[in-house]
Structure 1
Amino acid sequence: MNDEAKVKLLTITVDTPDTYSSYAGYGHLAAGLTVGLSAMAAGLAIGIVGDAGVRVNAQQPKLFAGMMLILIFAEALGLYGLIIGLVVATKKVDGLCSSYKA
């Protein structure tokens, strides 16, 4: 494969310690925790509702629509966490915290 055929999929820029403030670091930490914890909560909710829904669907097929609505709301919980994480990670405030200078 030659160099011209390669496609750049993701570009990550890392600031130097002179420009990377503690505000940005804690913001990235908070964004990661927000996305991770909301995805974990959504997965837990989907697992519990899916397990109970499969068991109950055999006995009462009328509950299928209600189960699907609850699953959709649980998935929305994970998406909301992702959106909040992106907002927190991209927030830039200059001059709030000083950057590390050696």
Structure 2
Amino acid sequence: MPEFVPIHLLYLAIAIALEVVANVLMKLSHGFERKGPAVAAIACALAAFTALSYAIEGIQLSVAYGVWGGVGLMATAVLGMVMFGERLRGSGWLGLGLIMLGVMLMKFA
């Protein structure tokens, strides 16, 4: 693995943000019936994978992908609650907590 360069963390943060935006746009597309949000969701998802590919040049794949997926899932869940009034039961909160723990443990991988 090459020496750590902070730009790779920026690429990872961009990948996470784009993934979350893509997920919200998918919801707004109503099952891809609304073409504008659907096309934007696909573009954001492709851009997220592109940013992730740059991130893994300097961050281990297992760490980058785990953080990308875990943080993206947590942010998407929070936005679902804020923007769409979605709610989680206790088991959902437990699951989010376990994901957060897993992401923190990946730092030591």
TM-score by length of 1: 0.43
TM-score by length of 2: 0.41
Query: Which structure has more RCO (C-alpha within 8 Å, separation ≥ 6)?
Result: 1
Flag the structure with higher helix content.
2
Structure with the greater alpha carbon radius of gyration: 1
